[in-house]
């Protein structure tokens, strides 16, 4: 039984994990998270920020507006949701 549990944990650890800031909590069991990344222009070298929004499944509603959260890739839950909430990294109190 422990071998099966270890295999399951190994599979989950190989999934992509991202960190971002919650920008919307208006949907039931779903939060919208903005992930920022800084990239340099290929020719000129200027560094700028690109951001992307992800819909994240939050079953218990733990994430609040402005929190930095960690979320993980999962099976498709709905048309747009393919990520699930893992934990809150920093909280806005």
CB-count exposure of residue 39 (10 Å: 0-12, 13-18, 19+): exposed
Residue 81 is assigned to a structural domain of this protein: yes
Q: Which domain holds residue 29?
A: 16-90
Whether 45 shows a pLDDT value over 90: the answer reads yes
Residue 7 is assigned to a structural domain of this protein: no
Residue 5 is assigned to a structural domain of this protein: no
Per-residue pLDDT tens for 1-40? Answer: 445 444 455 555 689 999 999 999 999 999 999 999 999 9
CATH number, position 21: 2.40.50.140
User: How many independent structural domains does the chain possess?
Assistant: 1
Residue 6 is assigned to a structural domain of this protein: no
- Annotate 55-87 with b (16+ C-beta within 10 A) or e (fewer): bbbbeeeebeeebebebbeeeeeeeebbbbbee
């Amino acid at each position: 039984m422990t071998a099966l549990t270890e295999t399951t944990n190994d599979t989950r650890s190989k999934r992509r994990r991202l960190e971002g800031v919650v920008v919307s909590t208006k949907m039931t069991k779903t939060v919208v998270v903005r992930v920022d990344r800084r990239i340099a222009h290929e020719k000129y070298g200027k560094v700028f920020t690109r951001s992307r929004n992800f819909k994240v499944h939050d079953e218990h509603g733990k994430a609040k507006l402005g929190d930095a959260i960690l979320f993980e890739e999962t099976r498709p839950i709905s048309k747009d949701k393919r990520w699930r909430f893992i934990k809150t990294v920093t909280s806005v109190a």
